[in-house]
Amino acid sequence: MSVNREIRLASRPVGEPGLENFELVEVEVPEPGEGQVLVRNTWMSVDPYMRGRMNDAASYIPPFQLGVAMEGSAIGEVVASRAPEIPVGATVSHFLGWREYAVLDAAGAAVVDTGLARPQDYLGALGTTGLTAYLAVAEIAPVKEGDVVFVSGAAGAVGSVAGQLARKLGAAKVIGSAGGPEKAKKVAEDFGFDAAIDYRAESPAERLAPQGIDVYVDNVGGDHLEAAIGALKTHGKVALVGMISQYNAIGRVPGPSNIYDLVTKRLTVRGVLVTDHLDRFPEYIAKAAPWLADGSLRTAETVVEGLEKAPAAFLGVLRGANTGKMLVRLAGPTRG
């Protein structure tokens, strides 16, 4: 028997999850049926939204099921195919991560061009991460020439790209927040933001208030959202991407105390889910791939080795351990 390893949800966490909520299981490598492919996963993504899927609650995406392999974005090589449109050897993007081998319908696998970019880039700057950032600043809270833009979680996967894309769309100034001096330094020096706020050492509200902002890309929620609402100018815009500060909260989380400013300033506040806009991938990749190639779109990765380390990598994302995209490089056995 050829062995396939997968990570399953062992129990549902209350508050902050721990390693005890996951289990590593060995199963047989599955065989593809008609119209299916067998993929050996080489890279997988762990993302903050997955915390919500650990709860048994209705949301925009179904919860993970107990005792069943978890899901998420992954890149892999097709090692067996019963779908003529996807040959053996093709590199594909799909949604059956958290395992070393996956069988999926051909419709669920997108062949990616590894001559255009590295395979792992299709989980980061050229994947849903990058598309989310693009939608946030190009459509949800569109940046105009001369805007001042504030991005929270600016050292993270989405935030680091969103700030750079805002500049490409004409922003006059881009400000990012990050936790700790090293991350703040990276936001300013590597990702090219005009200013970086270390929220552990200084108040975002105090830094933003004097100049005001036109656009806010929110990855954090909580005090960052309140600070941004206070600093937004009349007719300002907010793209709500995520609110990682409250993902582990038990019970209801209070909203910003200055919520009435949305009325008096006539602010536009809109959430974005990338799954509503997957048809925009060709448009986005056509723009972003050349930027990635010429170095004008800069990225960072935090890489963890091996499927067994995926739970720890995911917990690290929730605690802010990553700079840029958190990736897990898989090292599963070759199929016999």
Token representation of residue 141: 């809270």
Could you give the residue ranges of the DSSP H alpha helices within 40-126?
50-53
Domains and CATH numbers, the chain: 3-123+300-329 (3.90.180.10), 128-275 (3.40.50.720)
Question: How confident is the prediction along the chain (336 residues), in pLDDT tens digits per residue?
Answer: 489 999 999 999 999 999 999 999 999 999 999 999 999 999 999 999 999 999 999 899 999 999 999 999 999 999 999 999 999 999 999 999 999 999 999 999 999 999 999 999 999 999 999 999 999 999 999 999 999 999 999 999 999 999 999 999 999 999 999 999 999 999 999 999 999 999 999 999 999 988 899 999 999 999 999 999 999 999 999 999 999 988 888 888 888 999 999 999 999 999 999 999 999 999 999 999 999 999 999 999 999 999 999 999 999 999 999 999 999 999 644 443
Pairing of strands 268-271, 173-178: unpaired
Element (H, E) at 262: helix 261-264
Helix or strand or coil: residue 130? Answer: helix
pLDDT digits (tens, 9 = 90+) for 219-243: 999 999 999 999 999 999 999 999 9
Beta strands in 119-212 (DSSP E): 148-151, 173-178, 195-198
The token duo for 41 is 């996963």
